[in-house]
Amino acid sequence: MRRREFITLLGGTAAAWPLAARAQQGGRMRRVGALVNSEERDTESHARIVEFQDGLRALGWTEGRNLRIDYRWATDAERMRAGAAELVGLSPDVLFANGAAALARLQQATRIIPIVFAGVTDPVATGFVASIPRPGGNITGFATYEHTIARKWLELLKEIAPQVVRVMVIYDPANPVTRGYLHEIEAAAPLFGVQISATVVRNAAEIEHAFDAFAGVPNGGLIPMTSLTINAHRKQIIALAAKHRLPAVYISRIHVAAGGLASYGARSVEEGRQAAIYVDRILKGEKPGDLPVQFATRFELVINLKTAKALGLDPPITLLARTDEVIE
């Protein structure tokens, strides 16, 4: 293995990141910083982190022996920003970003330390990498999908609840990926005979107001975008959808397991183990800018039949036949 040394001075503070010259040199302890865009008790994010840890362990990296992982969990922009700054201040060898919000904060905090991401949509369109085959810079990782998947959410909503002619899309503009989703949904709306009501929500009060304002007219449906705000208020959104009898399609299974109607998205847990592979390769000397971004290849459709029954919906057999998981 060829060995070269890079030393970069940032703002008067020496911050070095390892390439081949420091790869497992003398069996020294290596350091990884992980920024996670959820609460620590969030089951989906926790499962992804467990997969990340297991993946590193399978590649020979054991916490306490040759690896240390520092975690920061955050559910709002300020804590996310602070967590990113703290992790960069620890001068880790590699950073792991769980989700677009985490990646955005880490990108703002450092353009030097390698960053591996998981759970990010269309990283080229959102400005995280220069290209898919050669990301360039200090960022690479595993993307979920491109923005066009948003049309699938609208299609699923109409299939499971054909009476829907009005769809409220709630989103937080602080998430850089939501603009692309919203564009796709609005472009596809005429094909499905629906009107889109795009509504900004930044806190619990705005979420409550959005539902109250929208639900007064019948035949409505709901598509919540992903964001720190929406993830943090997941239970509230699911409860309000039930209260106002709004069929809703979500981005991930965790919402359906908590009582939501349906979801379609990538099997995000697997991205943790995939991210571990790239962290390992960077720790052994490869450059993040040379590692191509990879997209998810496995998707899952999940339907909660109990919720469907409560809403008076009877999902067609053709839909249930291709459903990966039915929650009863």
Contact indicator for 249, 295 with CB cutoff of 8 Å: no
- Quick: pLDDT tens for 132-160: 999 999 999 999 878 889 999 999 999 99
Which stretches of the chain score pLDDT less than 70? 1-27, 268-269
Identical fold between 8-144+268-297 and 147-265+300-327: yes
Mapping DSSP to helix (H, G, I), strand (E, B) and coil, where does residue 42 land? coil
Fold of 8-144+268-297: Rossmann fold (3.40.50)
Q: What pLDDT score does 4 carry?
A: 33
Which pLDDT score is estimated for 97?
A: 96
Summarised one tens digit per residue, pLDDT across range 23-74 is 344 468 999 999 998 877 777 778 888 999 999 999 999 999 999 999 999 9
Mean pLDDT over each residue of the chain, to the nearest integer:
89
Burial of 164 (0-12, 13-18, 19+ CB in 10 A): buried
Domains of the chain, residue spans: 8-144+268-297, 147-265+300-327
- Residue 58's CB is within 10 A of a number of other CB atoms, namely 12
From CA 135, how far away is CA 150, in angstroms rounded? 24
Q: What is the CATH number of domain 147-265+300-327?
A: 3.40.50.2300
First to last CA, the chain: 54
Backbone angles phi, psi at 58, to 5 degrees: -65, -25
> For residue 221, with 0-12 CB atoms within 10 Å meaning exposed, 13-18 middle and 19 or more buried, which class applies?
buried
How confident is the model at residue 3, as a pLDDT?
Answer: 31
The set of residues, in sequence order, having a beta carbon less than 8 Å from that of 143 and lying 6+ positions away, is 117, 120, 121, 122, 123, 293, 294, 295, 296
Residue 233: both structure tokens together: 């208020």
100 and 129 in contact (C-beta within 8 Å)? no
Q: Cα 135 to chain center, whole Å?
A: 19
Q: What is the CA radius of gyration of the chain?
A: 21
Q: Which tokens in the block code for residue 123?
A: 């990283």
The pair phi, psi for residue 92, each rounded to 5°, is -70, 165
Write down the pLDDT at residue 25: 41
- pLDDT for res 75: 82
Residue type, 307: T
Q: Using CA atoms, how far apart are residues 241 and 233, in angstroms rounded to an integer?
A: 12
